[in-house]
Amino acid sequence: VVSGSFEELSAKRAARARWLASKYPAAREALTFYADIASFQQGVDPHQPLAALAALIELVLEKGPPLLREATRDLDEDTCRVAIEDYARERDVTSPRSFFARVLLQPQMHAKAAGHAEPGAQLGRCPRCGHPPQVGCLRALEYGTALTFICSLCLAEFPFLRGRCPACGEAEENKIAYYSAAELEHVQIQACESCRRYFHNVSLAKDPEAIPDVDEVAALPLDVWAHEKGFRKLHANLLGI
Ligand SMILES: [Zn+2]
Ligand SMILES: [Zn+2]
């Protein structure tokens, strides 16, 4: 998933998001905005992310949800530089302001991550940038299924043990539960009964066209279900879901 330039990857992500938006009305709004963001990221210079801030603010004011529109009010290059620093160090990865930091930081982190691996990464963390995974990706093997994670920040893909919770390490079979919905067959939730965290697995075996970080946005109804059951997502996506 990390292969190719961020520009190419973003073009593919945008196209996939628009296609899914036409197919899954329940998540249409979220997917359309995600497509706009992915298209926007194609033009972000990884060496000068702040140069794209004005255009990002314009996009959010035009098409973004109220919470993000409001966050643009006290956002300028200085406050955004701090937000980027706070995101990179995981001091703030959830506020509306952190959205802007993440959108601008991703192209840079993707470029840095290519060909770079930090030895001794923590369990369940990206071996390239150290941030937590966004979403799981399932592929069929000759025997069984392989799980990889897509990093929430640099979008690098890295292997992980199937049936284990990346948040707390739980691996007891009866503590890890899976849920899916008939309308969205290729996405499932993996939830941990021990720490009450969950994430989505996107199956490339069931839909080879899927792009995990995009397809998990289509699974909005599964998120609603999980939150109602008292599970908390491992890492919120760009849309804060
Ligand atoms: Zn990463
Ligand atoms: Zn857990």
Q: Closest-lying ligand to the alpha carbon of 231?
A: 2
Ligand 2 centroid distance, CA of 133 (Å): 14
Per-residue confidence (pLDDT) for residue 122, from 0 to 100: 85
Give the distance from CA 28 to its chain's centroid: 17
Cα dist. 143→128, 159, 186 in Å? 28, 16, 19
- b/e per residue 162-190 (b: at least 16 CB within 10 A): bebbbbeebeeeeebeeebeeebebbbbb
With CA atoms as reference, report the closest residue to 173 among 200, 193, 146: 193
With CA atoms as reference, report the closest residue to 239 among 94, 84, 86, 92: 94
Residues 135-192: tens digit of each pLDDT: 999 999 999 899 999 999 999 999 999 999 999 999 999 999 999 999 899 999 999 9
Q: Closest-lying ligand to the alpha carbon of 133?
A: 1
Ligand 2 centroid distance, CA of 141 (Å): 25
* pLDDT of 70 above 90: yes
User: How far is it, in rounded angstroms, from Cα 130 to Cα 151?
Assistant: 9
User: How far is it, in rounded angstroms, from Cα 153 to Cα 3?
Assistant: 15
Per-residue confidence (pLDDT) for residue 114, from 0 to 100: 73
Q: What are phi and psi of 213, to 5 degrees?
A: -70, -20
Ligand 1 centroid distance, CA of 125 (Å): 8
Contact between 148 and 139 (Cβ < 8 Å): yes
Helix then strand count (H, E) for the chain reads 8, 7
Residue found under tokens 């066209």: 209
Residues 13-63: tens digit of each pLDDT: 999 999 999 999 999 999 999 999 999 999 999 999 999 999 999 999 999
With CA atoms as reference, report the closest residue to 200 among 222, 185, 221: 222
117 or 138, which is more confident: 138
User: How far is it, in rounded angstroms, from Cα 121 to Cα 156?
Assistant: 14
Cα dist. 150→79, 161, 216 in Å? 28, 14, 11
Mean of the pLDDT values across residues 65-80? 96
Provide the 10 A C-beta neighbour count for residue 206. 14
Residue type, 121: A
Question: 96-113 vs 6-23: helix axis angle to the nearest 10?
Answer: 130
pTM of the predicted model, to two decimals? 0.94
Q: What does the block give as tokens for 195?
A: 């720490």
Q: Closest-lying ligand to the alpha carbon of 150?
A: 1
Per-residue confidence (pLDDT) for residue 218, from 0 to 100: 96
Ligand 1 centroid distance, CA of 25 (Å): 31
Confidence of residue 10 (pLDDT cuts 50, 70, 90): very high
Percent of the chain whose predicted confidence (pLDDT) is above 70: 96
* pLDDT of 1 above 60: no
Mean of the pLDDT values across residues 101-125? 85
**E strand or H helix at 10:** helix 6-23
With CA atoms as reference, report the closest residue to 100 among 74, 133, 132: 74
Ligand 1 centroid distance, CA of 128 (Å): 5
Ligand 2 centroid distance, CA of 115 (Å): 30
Neighbours of ion ligand 1 (CB under 5 A): 126, 128-129, 131, 151, 153-154, 156
* pLDDT of 118 above 70: no
Q: Closest-lying ligand to the alpha carbon of 154?
A: 1
